[in-house]
């Protein structure tokens, strides 16, 4: 059981806790250090922040001790995510004691959730900036230079940072994220995101296309279109009056070049249309992989979660995906032990996982978030031990499914986009196939990062595939 907890921690870390620090290229006396936590949207936002600070002539450093400004781009999704930030802040206390001029800023979702309270609770914080206020950073930093604390947590209905060209951080030069929308209007009862990121708004499609084209011209070969609910993307061209929906945007990006792979995240089961699935099927360069979070396999729990679909609806979406794209991989997010969930209802989640044959899942136990509809209206009555037990069972089952899913690929040959050296050896490359599976294989010939190669899979674990390049 302990082992599974560790595995879950690792999984969570890989998605929610991964730390990003980076260098911007500009020269300036003033150096800042930034770390990002949470989802891909936050990582993408840090690239926008980097661009805004670069315009001010500030440069980044990977050395904490060199920084005059430390920024944490934070996540509030579960209690543990916030605890991680508070622990990290504690580690900065000694730096602040040494350097009274050091400014410490918190950005992102936790900044938005706690607002001014952050300054009261964490005395060493000088700057609190919500996800829609990054353009105001230069002014706010100026305010802290005067010795004042600075806060801007205004949530906008329009801000999409469409005109800001993100500075790609810690980039492999091959894959990049493009934000296509911000906020969320869904109000899933467990979720803090609508409160921390505000109302849903879609970014100008032309600016998305321009960014993707520019990335391709600079040698990038894969873009991931990001939003909390990409299927509700909707933008009206002011010149033609024409509405661009997600399926249209996907097609337009796919048409930039057949050598540019397109991915997207996250799809909402209630909104993913046949048109989106058909568009994916039509274009070989739209990757055959859908992250389609189920959250629970039981219709009563789904209703309490306000997911607005039931088990049957979800199964119909999965059936349509596999019918139109038999080789498509589907992954999921799962919450164990939501309010009032019974053992039988939990078993329905397990049976859904087996039925849907998820290639992988992100799995969590329910963590009540203050102010959410569930916190206000439902009782968090599943004891923590039961939550953990159910989560461990979910993880164990997913590991088995992933292992089988991966073993089924042994003997098959896939087109793989080389992303760079594998973590373990500089003699090996790593890259993904269309189904988003990571494959590790020995280097061969003159192939380099950004090239496509055919790889024959020879062995598999529940996490990775290994293979060899076929000419």
Site for ligand F3S in 157-196 (CB under 6 A): 192-193, 196
Q: How many residues bind ligand SF4 (CB under 6 A)?
A: 10
Residues 263-292: x where in contact with ligand SF4 by CB under 6 A, - otherwise, as a string? -----x------------------------
In the list 96, 197, 291, 317, the residue contacting ligand F3S (rule: CB under 6 A) is: 197
Name the percent of the chain in helix, strand, coil, to the closest 5: 40, 20, 40
Q: Which is nearer to ligand F3S, 179 or 296 (CB)?
A: 179
Which one, of 7, 41, 442, 8, lies nearest residue 228 by Cα? 41
The torsion defined by the Cα of 314, 318, 324 and 327, in degrees rounded to 10, comes to: 160
Please report, for residues 114, 346, 387, 404, 411, the alpha-carbon distance to residue 393 in angstroms, rounded to integers and kept in the order given: 34, 10, 10, 17, 30
Contacting residues for 181 by C-beta, under 8 A, at least 6 apart: 160, 200, 201, 202, 203, 227, 228, 229, 230, 232, 233
Shortest CB 16 distance to ligand F3S, Å? 7
Least Cβ distance, residue 317 to ligand SAH (angstroms): 13
- Which residues contribute to the site for ligand SAH (CB under 6 A)? 77-78, 190-191, 193, 228-229, 266, 268, 293, 295, 333, 335, 364, 366-367, 369
41 lies in the binding site for ligand F3S (CB under 6 A): yes
- Residue nearer to ligand SF4 on the CB measure, 34 or 181: 181
Least CB distance to ligand SAH at residue 184 (A): 6
Q: How far apart are CA 113 and CA 370, in angstroms?
A: 9
Q: How far is the CB of 186 from ligand SF4 (least distance, A)?
A: 4
- Of 35-43, 293-301, 341-349, 372-380, the segment contacting ligand F3S by CB under 6 A is 35-43
Residue 224 in the binding site for ligand F3S (CB under 6 A): no
Give the single-character DSSP code of 65.
Answer: G
What's the closest the beta carbon of residue 324 comes to ligand F3S, in angstroms?
30
- State whether residue 301 is helix, strand or coil: helix
Nearest residue to ligand F3S by CB is: 38
Please give the backbone phi and psi of residue 413, each rounded to the nearest 5 degrees, phi first: -110, 130
Q: Which residue's CB is nearer to ligand F3S, number 130 or number 269?
A: 130
- 61, interface contact from ligand SAH, ligand SF4, ligand F3S, none, CB < 5-8 Å by kind: none
Kindly state whether residue 372 participates in binding ligand F3S, applying the rule CB under 6 A. no
CB of 17 to ligand F3S, least distance (A): 11
Helix (H, G, I), strand (E, B) or coil at 52: helix
Smallest separation (angstroms) from ligand F3S to the CB of 334 = 15
**H-helix or E-strand containing 334?**
strand 329-336
d(CA 242, CA 244): 6
- State how far the Cα of 50 lies from the Cα of 38, in Å rounded to an integer: 17
Contact 129, 116 (CB under 8 A): no
Residues 326-340 as b/e (b if ≥16 CB within 10 A, e otherwise) read eebbbbbbbbbbbbe
Q: Looking at 24, 72, 178, 193, which residue binds ligand SF4 (CB under 6 A)? A: 193
Contact 173, 152 (CB under 8 A): no
Q: How many CB atoms lie within 10 A of CB 206?
A: 15
Stretch that binds ligand SF4, among 179-187, 207-215, 341-349, 456-464 (CB under 6 A): 179-187
The residue number whose beta carbon is nearest to ligand SAH equals: 333
> Is the Cβ of residue 32 or residue 37 nearer to ligand SF4 in the bound state?
37
Using an 8 Å Cβ cutoff, are 324 and 281 in contact?
Answer: yes
Q: Which stretch, 46-54, 186-194, 391-399, 426-434, contacts ligand SF4 (CB under 6 A)? A: 186-194
**Using CB under 6 A, which residues numbered 205 to 244 contact ligand SF4?**
228-229
Residues forming contacts to ligand SF4 in the complex (CB under 6 A) are: 184, 186-188, 191, 193-194, 228-229, 268
């Amino acid at each position: 059981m302990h082992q599974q907890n560790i595995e879950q921690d690792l999984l969570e870390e890989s998605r929610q806790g991964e730390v990003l620090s980076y260098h911007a290229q500009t020269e300036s006396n003033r150096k800042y250090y930034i770390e990002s936590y949470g989802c891909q949207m936050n990582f993408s936002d840090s690239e926008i922040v980097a661009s805004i600070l670069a315009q001010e002539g500030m440069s980044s450093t990977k050395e904490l001790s060199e920084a005059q400004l430390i920024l944490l781009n934070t996540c509030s999704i579960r209690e543990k995510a916030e605890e991680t930030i508070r622990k990290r802040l504690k580690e900065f206390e000694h730096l602040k004691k040494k350097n009274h001029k050091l400014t410490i800023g918190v950005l992102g979702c936790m900044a938005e959730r706690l607002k001014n309270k952050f300054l009261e609770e964490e005395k060493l914080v000088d700057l609190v900036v919500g996800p829609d206020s990054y353009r105001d950073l230069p002014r706010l930093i100026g305010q802290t230079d005067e010795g004042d604390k600075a806060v801007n947590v205004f949530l906008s209905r329009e801000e999409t940072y469409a005109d800001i060209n993100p500075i790609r951080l810690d980039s492999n030069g091959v894959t990049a994220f493009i934000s296509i929308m911000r906020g969320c209007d869904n109000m899933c009862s467990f979720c803090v995101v609508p409160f921390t990121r505000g109302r849903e708004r879609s970014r100008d499609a032309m600016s998305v296309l321009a960014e993707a084209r520019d990335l391709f011209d600079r040698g990038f070969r894969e873009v991931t279109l990001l939003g909390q609910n990409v299927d509700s993307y909707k933008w009206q061209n002011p010149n033609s009056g024409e509405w661009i929906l997600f399926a249209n945007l996907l097609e337009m990006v796919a048409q930039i070049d057949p050598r540019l792979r397109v991915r997207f995240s996250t799809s909402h089961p209630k909104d993913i249309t046949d048109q989106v699935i058909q568009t994916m099927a039509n274009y070989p360069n739209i990757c055959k992989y859908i992250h389609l979070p189920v959250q629970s396999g039981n219709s009563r729990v789904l209703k309490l979660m306000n997911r607005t679909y039931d088990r049957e609806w979800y199964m119909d979406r999965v059936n349509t995906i596999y019918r139109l794209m038999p080789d498509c991989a589907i992954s999921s997010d799962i919450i164990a032990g939501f309010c009032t969930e019974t053992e039988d209802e939990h078993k329905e989640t397990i049976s859904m996982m087996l039925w849907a044959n998820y290639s992988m899942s992100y799995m969590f136990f329910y963590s009540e978030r203050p102010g959410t509809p569930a916190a206000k209206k439902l009782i968090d009555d599943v004891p923590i031990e039961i939550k953990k037990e159910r989560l461990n069972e979910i993880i164990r089952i997913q590991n088995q499914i992933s292992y089988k899913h991966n073993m089924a690929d042994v003997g098959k040959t896939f087109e793989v986009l080389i992303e760079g050296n594998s973590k373990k050896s500089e003699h090996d490359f790593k890259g993904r196939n269309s189904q988003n599976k990571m494959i590790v294989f020995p280097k061969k010939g003159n192939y380099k990062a950004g090239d496509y190669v055919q790889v024959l899979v020879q062995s598999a674990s529940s996490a990775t595939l290994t293979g060899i390049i076929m000419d």
